[in-house]
Structure 1
Amino acid sequence: MEQIRQYFESEFGISRADWEIFSSKLNRYEFPKKSMLVEAGKVENYLSFIEKGIVRLYIPKEDGGLTFGFVFNGAFVSAYDSFLTQKPSEYTVETITDTILWRLGHKELQEVYASSSIGNLIGRKASEELFLKKSKRELSLLRDSAEQRYLNLFEERPELLREIPLKYIASYIGVTPQALSRIRRRIS
């Protein structure tokens, strides 16, 4: 919980009273790799902060799915559209590595909003973070080559990228695993 407290202190200057309200609603969970945090067709009930691990967001398909996002430690993760609307998710959220999450339920977040001065700011920051990641991804798909998308991902988190199976990386940058192998050979 110390990591999330430090994050909130650096981002918001959260008061002790607000931290007590917020932290009392958080629950720590450990998930082994390949755990489904939310499956397509199910409602997302949590906004989670990754203390440790890597999470993948993907649209299920017969060939393993279309990966459209990775989320690393120190960031929020959720099937956020489902969380907000409380309607079934159109995609799956799954751990790639053993993962530790601090989770806040939908109902508990509403209580934090109502009972603390910082609650809305925390919710807004989580929303903004998730939106900016989505926007960056969309722009990259429209503007960058597959090779550049790979390089961008590698520059962001090279130490963690080694833990992601290449088939997920290929799906994320929009190429086949064979094309990814050619890109990797070309740039090494």
Structure 2
Amino acid sequence: MDNIRFVLERMANSNLSEDDWQFFAAKLTKQSFNRKSTVLAAGQTESHLSFIEKGIVRFYLGDEEKQTTFGFAFENYFVSAYDSFLLQQPCNYYIETLSDTILWRLTHQDLAQIYEHTSIGNTIGRLASEDLFLKKSKRELSLLMDSPETRYLKLFTEQPHLLKQIPLKYIASYIGITPQALSRIRRRIC
């Protein structure tokens, strides 16, 4: 749990008081998932905001035959079907683990209590929401403005860990191309 505190303090650019940290930490529950486990299925309502202690998760649309990956989350990041979490309505996508994963989880109700009872909770919530928005906006603009090769090169430069830990079929889907097109791009630039 020390990593969670470190990330929260870094996000807020401020130290959490011991009282705030104890209140926050008391709300966390630990849950382990095996590789290729579904954390949340389409049609379910997200009831948790989770911190990844260990592992990788992906967000995708579709079914067994055709899947479109639209996001990844890694160790020391928060993960949630955030739209479903905020609205408390069913989501239309899946969250799946790509490796053995350990999550520290807060319920929707517990997060509301943290916002209400801690001095830094609202600040952290706002900053986390802003970070999610900026990442989503950057990805959308890249899909609209950049060529597939440019998207791959940006991904390779900005997040090299993706290429080492995630199957290429998911990376191809994430940048909006087929695995075959990704193979051609990789051959061209190597």
TM-score normalized by the length of structure 2:
0.93
| Identity %, equivalent residues | 61
1:16-165 superposed matches below 5 A: 16-165=18-167
2:9 paired residue number: 9
1:5 maps to a residue whose letter is: R
Unaligned runs of 5+ in 1: none
Q: Using a 3 Å threshold, how does the CA distance of structure 1 residues 97 and 156 change in structure 2: closer, same or farther? A: farther
1:76–1:129 CA contact under 8 A, matched in 2: no
2:61 maps to a residue whose letter is: I
Instruction: Find the residue that maps to 1:113 and give its secondary structure.
Output: helix
Instruction: Find the residue that maps to 2:180 and give its secondary structure.
Output: helix
Q: Using a 3 Å threshold, how does the CA distance of structure 1 residues 62 and 100 change in structure 2: closer, same or farther? A: closer
The alignment of Structure 1 onto Structure 2 pairs a total of residues equal to 188
Task: Measure the CA separation in 2 of the matches of 1:36 and 1:20.
Answer: 30
Segment drifting more, 6-15 vs 70-79? 6-15
Instruction: Find the residue that maps to 2:50 and give its secondary structure.
Output: strand
Task: Measure the CA separation in 2 of the matches of 1:165 and 1:87.
Answer: 31
Deviations 1:14-46 (A, max 9, x none): 111111111111112221111111111100011
Instruction: Find the residue that maps to 1:41 and give its secondary structure.
Output: coil
Unaligned runs of 5+ in 2: none
Task: Measure the CA separation in 2 of the matches of 1:94 and 1:32.
Answer: 10
Task: Measure the CA separation in 1 of the matches of 2:53 and 2:162.
Answer: 14
1:47–1:83 CA contact under 8 A, matched in 2: yes
**1:159 Cα offset (Å):** 3.0
- Moved runs in structure 1, 4+ residues, more than 3 A? none
1:43–1:86 CA contact under 8 A, matched in 2: yes
> Are residue 182 (structure 1) and residue 184 (structure 2) matched?
yes
**1:160 Cα offset (Å):** 4.1
Task: Measure the CA separation in 2 of the matches of 1:52 and 1:84.
Answer: 24
2:48–2:85 CA contact under 8 A, matched in 1: yes
Deviations 1:103-148 (A, max 9, x none): 1110110111111111111211221121111111101101111111
TM-score normalized by the length of structure 1:
0.94
2:11–2:124 CA contact under 8 A, matched in 1: no
Q: Using a 3 Å threshold, how does the CA distance of structure 1 residues 98 and 67 change in structure 2: closer, same or farther? A: same
